[in-house]
Amino acid sequence: MSGIVEIVLDCRHASKLARFWEAALGWPIRPYDQAEIDRLAALGLTPETDPMVAIDSPDGSLVFFLQEVPEPKTAKNRMHVDIRLRDQAHLDELLQLGATVLSEHDGWRILADPEGNEFCVKHPD
């Protein structure tokens, strides 16, 4: 049976943007074990400079993966994530972390993350 195992977002600064998406999704950034820290060190990297950061869903069934790429974002995303907000404080937190409100349509707000990637949010019913 096929299925989605990861959603990958290309970005300029994976560790910085991962903190934003951790708050947006309410999912934890995958912790670094010693083996991974050693692997990164051998490459001259640290968790803060890791070009690939994983955020795991609570049940472990899906990974939101941030991957650094050299080219900048130049156009609207062809695919985006829709998020149901916990409450107004959740939206306020995203705005404080660098989200920008782009527009609003039919009860959905279209936002951009700190690197300009579009996503939609809906208040809980």
Of 35, 53, 71, the one marking the end of a domain is 71
Question: What CATH number does the domain containing 103 carry?
Answer: 3.10.180.10
Q: Does residue 3 sit in the same domain as residue 54? A: yes
The pTM (predicted TM-score) of the whole model is: 0.92
**What's CA 48's distance to the chain center, in Å?**
15
- Checking if the pLDDT of 125 tops 80, the result is no
**Residue 3, Cβ neighbours under 10 Å: how many?**
6
Which residues, in sequence order, are CB contacts of 43 under 8 Å at separation 6+? Answer: none
Which of 7-16, 51-60, 71-80, 87-96 has the weakest average pLDDT?
A: 71-80
Q: Does residue 2 sit in the same domain as residue 61? A: yes
Of 51, 71, 91, the one marking the end of a domain is 71
Q: Does residue 96 sit in the same domain as residue 50? A: no
Q: Does residue 12 sit in the same domain as residue 67? A: yes
Quote the number of domains for the chain.
2
Q: Does residue 65 sit in the same domain as residue 109? A: no
Q: Does residue 59 sit in the same domain as residue 86? A: no
- Checking if the pLDDT of 123 tops 90, the result is no
**Residue 29, Cβ neighbours under 10 Å: how many?**
17
Q: Does residue 28 sit in the same domain as residue 48? A: yes
Structural domain harbouring 104:
80-125
Q: Convert the chain into a string of H (helix), E (strand) and C (coil).
A: CCCCCEEEEEECCHHHHHHHHHHHHCCCECCCCHHHHHHHHHCCCCCCCCCEEEEECCCCCCEEEEEECCCCCCCCCCCCEEEECCCHHHHHHHHHCCCEEEEEECCEEEEECCCCCEEEEECCC
Mean of pLDDT over the chain: 95
pLDDT of residue 12: 96
